[in-house]
Homo-oligomer: A and B are copies of this chain.
Amino acid sequence: MAEKLSDAALDTIFRTARTYNGYTDQPVSEAELHAIWDLMKWGPTSANQLPARLVWCVSDEAKEKLAACSSAQNAPKILKAPVSVVIGMDQDFHDHLPEFFPHVDARPWFADPQARTVSAMRNSTLQGAYFIIAARALGLDTGPMSGFDNAKVDAAFFADTPNVRSNFITTLGHGDPATIFERLPRPAFEKFNTIA
């Protein structure tokens, strides 16, 4: 049976975690990138489709390529972060189902390209959220962003795999508290929830 998390752990992944605009000089190791994947990969996706395809930009060259596709406000954040990540989605994820859903041939469930595009979007986004929580759980911080040109990112990073499209991007590192703004309000349960 699952054990509840401590208050400190709930703070780390939700309550005091923040979106960072900048990071300290503390580096992020390749082992930490693997550790994030080794947590986030366990999060559920429909029929274990695992559509997310991640490009971890650690070199200056890769960050410059990504910054060139991004809004003027986001480009400097991408350049300065220890790691900037493109969370992409494979719209032909069904090709891998025999490996990840081996007990039955689930490929026909995803035969319709339009429905598959929606499924890749939904499930790679779930994986993007697992990425954010996994990074926080390991003592790292993130700065997810939508302010970029998807077509440019696709051309820059996924030209050889046209079935892969960008979903969203994010920075990663040890957050610098000086770079966060006042926390934005969140509503009480009653505002956006109904008990039926």
Interface residues of A (CB under 8 A from B): 1-6, 8-17, 19, 30, 33-34, 37-44, 46, 48, 50, 52-59, 61-62, 65, 90, 99-102, 119, 121-122, 125-126, 128-130, 132-134, 136-141, 144, 146, 157, 167-168, 174-175, 184-187, 189, 192-196
Q: Which residues of chain B have C-beta atoms less than 8 A from A175's C-beta?
A: 2
Contact at A146–B119, with CB atoms within 8 Å? yes
Tell me if A196 and B122 are in contact (CB < 8 A). no
Q: A37 — which chain B residues lie within 8 A by C-beta?
A: 189, 193
Interface core residue of A14, A42, A192 (most chain B CB under 10 Å): A192
Contact status B5-A13, CB under 8 Å: yes
User: B184 to A48, Cβ gap below 8 A?
Assistant: yes
Count of chain copies: 2
Could you tell me if A121 and B119 are in contact, using CB atoms closer than 8 angstroms?
no
Residues of chain B within 8 A (CB-CB) of A137 are 4-5, 9-10, 13-14
A14 touches B1 (CB 8 A): no
CA distance A144 to B175 in the complex (A): 32
Chain B residues within 8 Å of A55, by CB = 193-194, 196
- Complex contacts, A4 vs chain B, CB 8 Å: 12, 137-139
- Which B residue sits closest to A40, measured CB to CB? B14
Contact of A42 with B186 in the complex, beta carbons under 8 Å:
yes
Complex Cα–Cα for A97 and B168 (A): 21
Q: How far is the CA of A30 from the CA of B195 in the complex (A)?
A: 9
A18 to chain B, nearest CB (A): 8
Q: Provide a sorted-by-A list of 25 A–B residue pairs whose CB atoms are within 8 angstroms.
A: A2-B141, A5-B138, A6-B6, A10-B39, A13-B133, A17-B42, A30-B195, A42-B186, A46-B144, A50-B186, A52-B192, A53-B193, A54-B192, A54-B193, A54-B194, A56-B195, A56-B196, A58-B195, A100-B186, A102-B184, A102-B185, A125-B129, A126-B129, A129-B130, A133-B133
